Amino acid sequence: MPPKHFQKTFLEAVEEGLSSLGESPKQAILFHLENSFKIKREEIPENLTEFQKALEKIFGPGTPYLERLILKKFYEKLNLRFENSEVERLDFLNNIENLKKRLPSSGDS
């Protein structure tokens, strides 16, 4: 999967995951990410570490729940089976890196 497509798909999963909290909370979170953490919506896939840190500051101990929602949406969009046990074994960033490695890139033969 080309990197740009991977990023677009991940951003869609983020938006859908945040939408599960409701449209107004999603908009508030995106606003807070941009204004307090300087992470624009479209820059989230390129700033995963900062995005995760921002979620941790916003949600505290509730962050893993939101990360699982986003990962579940991402797995669905990639037509992969979402295994809670597999996902819980790795943290959010490692799950995403693992997915990048599992998916063929356009440069692979």
DSSP per position, 34-93: HHHH---GGGGGG-HHHHHHHHHHHHGGGHHHHHHHHHHHHHHHTT----HHHHHHS-HH
> Does residue 107 form part of some domain?
no
The stretch 80-94 carries a mean pLDDT of 76
- Is 80 inside any structural domain? yes
Q: How many domains does the chain have?
A: 1
Within a domain: 108 = no
CA dist list (Å): 94 to 31, 48, 52, 98, 101: 26, 11, 11, 6, 11
Q: Tell me whether residue 92 is exposed, middle or buried, using C-beta atoms within 10 angstroms of its C-beta: 0 to 12, 13 to 18, 19 or more.
A: buried
Residue 81 in this model has a pLDDT that exceeds 90: no
Give me 93's structure tokens: 């960033």
How far apart are alpha carbons 17 and 21 in whole angstroms? 8
Q: Please name the residues in contact with 47: beta carbons below 8 A apart, sequence gap of 6 or more.
A: 39
Whether residue 63 is contained in a domain is answered as: yes
Is 41 domain-assigned? yes
Domain ranges, residue 96: 3-102
Is residue 79 situated within a structural domain? yes
Residue 30 within a domain: yes
Provide the mean pLDDT of the chain: 88
pLDDT value of residue 84: 67
CATH of the domain at 23: 1.10.1200.200
Residue 86 falls inside a structural domain = yes
Q: Looking at the predicted structure, is the pLDDT value of residue 33 above 80?
A: yes
What does the pLDDT look like over 35-76, one tens digit per residue? 999 999 999 999 999 999 999 999 999 999 999 999 999 999
